[in-house]
Amino acid sequence: MSNIKHSIVSNNGAGTTHQVHSAALKSLPRDMIALSDYSAEQIAGLIESAADFKHKAKYEGQAFHPDQPLKGKTIGLIFSKRSTRTRVASETSAAYLGGHALFLGKDDIQLGVNETLRDSAQVISSMVDGIFARVGPHSDITTLAKYSSVPVINALCEENHPTQILADLLTIWEVFGKRRPNARGILDVFRGLRLAWVGDANNIAFEIMTTMPKCGISVNMCSPAGYPIPEYVRNLAATGAQTTDAEVKYFSDPIEAVNGADIIVTDTWVSMGQEDEKAQRIRDFAGYQVSKEMAQKGNANKDWIFMHCLPRKAEEVTDDVFYSDRSVVFQEAENRKWTTIATFNALLGKKSN
């Protein structure tokens, strides 16, 4: 095995990046529903900002943002689905920026139960300065955004998970930026990389497909027969790939899918609300467990890394991959905080920042 460990950003040192794309942050959409609404330059600007926050907080001792861009502001955290990483990241991000996070769980408010989403959006947005919402159907997040008077950030819905993919991109930059020291910026680091997705056709897969090709990362998408990628996602992926000469390929055989991969990614095979389908899904995903043997048989690139948004189950990836030097899953999880800080600062903070 090559010396992968030394190319991964560790907890005792981190790189910084020049703010090449900071100007792009001045023209962001009001809301963050999906990264398909953002340009590659805007996404790169958010990654640069997140990397800067991480470096200052972890390696320069900046415990709080000195300008407190969210001072006096409240972010409503609407969570219809439970979470670990998203909740911790959002509450600590608000605190770092000087704001207040108001957690509103499914048992705390009447979201879509005794009150319509439209009414809830109007009421809640009249009392907070931003909404960070983790919901079920995609229509829930778009309805909140439509009727909210303040910015709405998608913390997860059935079709998208933009803050997760921002964290993934920050992690990819941290790893491959150190391997490509002559790259001129984040997008230059991404250009030419290949990511293999081996798993369910779910919201993470959709967000990867509609984001990474336009940032220069080719995607090998692999899911079993009966778990198709929607046509609109395929179209967005193809359009993004045309702008960067990245490739988007589709597979049902994981061994074929990991060929030439720099990054191998999977996720849960059974998402929240699909528990009744578990037995059938386990059968359908037979052969999809990410392993060293899969990467070797498929001829993944020598220094491939493994990513997973967590929580992980044993059938999805072997222990000798998940806990190996190839795995950046805990770095990836931590980066949820830094990219959430960057997103809150850009969309909800003082515009002078």
Q: Return the pLDDT at 18.
A: 62
Pairing of strands 305-308, 263-266: parallel
Residue 16: pLDDT band with limits 50, 70, 90: low
Domains 21-160+335-348 and 163-333 in one fold: yes
Which position among 157, 215, 222, 309 bears the catalytic label? 309
pLDDT: which is higher, 336 or 112: 336
* CATH numeric code, 163-333: 3.40.50.1370
Q: Looking at residues 272-294, what average pLDDT do you find?
A: 89
C-alpha distances in angstroms, 307 versus 98, 265, 311, 321, 350?
31, 5, 12, 10, 34
Is residue 215 part of the annotated active site? The answer reads no
**Tokens (6 digits) for 319:** 């222990």
140/120 Cα distance (integer angstroms)? 11
Q: Return the pLDDT at 272.
A: 66
Read off the pLDDT of residues 152-190 as tens digits, 9 standing for 90 and up.
Answer: 999 999 999 999 999 999 999 999 999 999 998 999 999
DSSP 247-258: -EEEES-HHHHT
Residue from 135, 202, 125, 156 nearest 336 by CA: 156
Q: Return the pLDDT at 107.
A: 84
Please give the model's pTM, rounded to 2 decimal places: 0.93
- What is the domain partition of the chain in residue ranges? 21-160+335-348, 163-333
Q: Which of 29-38, 101-110, 222-231 has the lowest mean pLDDT?
A: 101-110
CATH code 3.40.50.1370 for 21-160+335-348: yes
Residues of the chain with pLDDT > 90, as a percent, come to: 84
Residue from 303, 222, 330, 227 nearest 266 by CA: 222
Read off the pLDDT of residues 108-137 as tens digits, 9 standing for 90 and up.
Answer: 887 767 888 999 999 999 999 999 999 999
Q: Which of 25-34, 181-190, 266-275 has the lowest mean pLDDT?
A: 266-275
Q: Which amino acid belongs to residue 49?
A: S
Residue 330: pLDDT band with limits 50, 70, 90: very high
